[in-house]
Amino acid sequence: MPVYEERRLVMQDIEPFYNWRHLYISEEDEHSPFYGREYNEFAYTHTIYNYFIHPQWDDFGSENLYLKILYSDYHYSFAIIEMIGEWNDCIENDIMTLKREVIDFLIAREINKFILIAENVLNFHSSDDCYYEEWRDDILENGGWIVALNMPDQTALEFKNAHLDNYVHLIENEGWRTFQPTHLFNHIDNMILKAIDG
């Protein structure tokens, strides 16, 4: 099988993590920026690098980066967001779009701790850090934090080279799918607290 066909098949087969859907569905959450969104399971319309992706991924205005809010907890003030694609701040200013279209919406509903599942973020291209700084400053007063979980090595290296790990904690946890969402949050929250105290 040609490499380009193999990649196309892999991209459209990657679904957002669905084992928590009995606990939370973003399109049914009236506090979600994707409330009321409908999905056509038979038509693939969104693409990354011209390869179709699974229709359950949510478009938030970026050309090659998509996401799914896997879980939001308004009592404990955290959200878990899975991402897929190319994160391009240099040309597309994806961080501005993400901040304005999704993050600001959640912050307004008192979410201040963010877990970004980043293992399917294929590439990262940096620009300046102003929106990362703004995001951190918006949540820091209330004890908030931002974590990127399982970012691929090359993507994480680019992230570090741009010094964005000053704003976003890069954490590895290959077993995150075995956790319930509140357990994953507690596990990461404890890691952050130990890092701050240590």
* Domains held by the chain: number: 1
Summarised one tens digit per residue, pLDDT across range 146-176 is: 999 999 999 999 999 999 999 999 999 999 9
Task: Give the pLDDT mean for 1-15.
Answer: 60
Quick check: 4 pLDDT over 80?
Answer: no
Task: Give the pLDDT mean for 97-123.
Answer: 97
Quick check: 5 pLDDT over 80?
Answer: no
Question: Who contacts 171 (Cβ-Cβ below 8 Å, separation ≥6)?
Answer: 147, 148, 149, 150, 188, 191
Range of the domain at 125: 59-197
Quick check: 8 pLDDT over 80?
Answer: no
Domain contains 182 = yes
Q: What is the CATH number of the domain that holds 118?
A: 3.30.750.24
Quick check: 13 pLDDT over 90?
Answer: no
**pTM, 2 dp:** 0.93
* pLDDT on residue 198: 59
Domain contains 135 = yes
Domain contains 49 = no
Cα–Cα dist 129/29, whole Å: 31
Domain contains 90 = yes
Domain contains 160 = yes
Summarised one tens digit per residue, pLDDT across range 61-85 is: 999 999 999 999 999 999 999 999 9
Strand, helix or coil for residue 40: coil
Question: Who contacts 84 (Cβ-Cβ below 8 Å, separation ≥6)?
Answer: 14, 16, 48, 53, 57, 65, 66, 67, 120, 121
Domain contains 54 = no
Domain contains 53 = no
Q: Pick the more confident residue, 196 or 3.
A: 196
Domain contains 94 = yes
Quick check: 2 pLDDT over 60?
Answer: no
